[in-house]
Structure 1
Amino acid sequence: MKLYFTAPLRWERGDWAWFGGALIAIGASHHYDTQVRTHFIKTLGSSQTTRSKDLQDALPTAAVFAATWAYANLISDSAGRREAWAMIESAALSTVPVYALKYAVGRERPDQTSDPNAWRKGGGDSFPSWHATAAFAVGTVLAESGNDDYRWVRRLLGYGLGGVTSFERLKHNAHWLSDTVAGAALGAASAHFVMKRANALDEQAQLRLVPIERGAMLSYTLTLR
């Protein structure tokens, strides 16, 4: 966990560029918060809230994780188990900054106010969206794991999960557009951190079957740094 929260200290130029792009995207989406809210509340009638949909909106993310874990165990695939673990680790790690930000900025939800700039309110917990964060954390692992044979399918399913979940949060008037964009950036970044660290560990320790004359040799390589 320490490596996760100190990761910005080791960022390179590309990482900072990605961070800057995320901030620009959040700022741009904030400009459309009111328009998006106005569009979706037309379908809600007089209530303007469906907070009871919180569990429903989390089910697709939970289902993707459960399906990945179940299938990996069904076919005894260690890589699939590691992928499922990366999903849950990414979602868990990103939960900490999500709730820290919710507490720090105190933004009211669109079912509490029509003002997208209602920040620093005691009961506000809108920014960022945890549902979007978790969906993009799990979805990014699905999208970018495995080999490239079915990469487009993985990305369609993985990023589709994040997009659909974010859409549902907007549809149910539970979040502003910029809440979901911030959640998407945080979830994807957490997933890339987890996968990058896992790949580094795999490179440090490798078990190989090496062909030799008249047979083969089992080789274990451990890189000490």
Structure 2
Amino acid sequence: MGCDASVLLDSKGDNVAEKEVSLNLSPRGFEVIDEIKMELEKQCKGVVSCADILALATRDGVALSGGSSYHIPTGRRDGMISTIGVVQIPGPSFSVDAALSALQTINLDLDDLTTLLGAHSIGFCHCGFFVDRLYNFEGTGLPDPDLDPGLLDSLQKKCPIPINQIFNISIDPTVFMTPMTKTPFTLDSSFYCGVLDGGSDSLVGSRTGLH
């Protein structure tokens, strides 16, 4: 969500904020961060940043979802500028090499990419981000041949052929990131297991793409 919490800022005037990027339309719970900030301001005005709140809430979410808890130093400062043009989020169609290249521009490496991808063991994804792989992969009119047949069948049942090519996230169906596992609400090793198993358990396990 951005180290400086700039994703929390809304568009204003002619400036379109980061949260308007299509890949940023899935994050939810902004109102929860607002409520936490409001309560903290009552107790210690101007002390705890939204950036720290996001980092701490993420840590607690990881722990509550079955992952490890970890120590987080505080002291982050909030960004005051949020512009759509500066967003660098690897898209669903990115190859591993392209995603790594994008992260390297902000001083992250392969270990960071591996960790970030592992977070896809939990959560959901909108069909619109990968539906082309189910029906018209790279304009072939056929599904992505790298998709496991069982996973393909399951996803096609949940993600019908889009009638309208305009992506409307408010009505777009969603599926769990690890749809073939029994632990969609648990942050575990299911993403990595899915990749090692040829992508049969995860939306993020193909030979060429991230989603």
Using the size of structure 1 for normalisation, the TM-score is 0.26
More strand by share: 1
Q: Give the structure, 1 or 2, with the largest relative contact order (CA under 8 Å, sep 6 or more).
A: 1
Using the size of structure 2 for normalisation, the TM-score is 0.27
More helix by share: 1
Which has the larger Rg?
Answer: 1
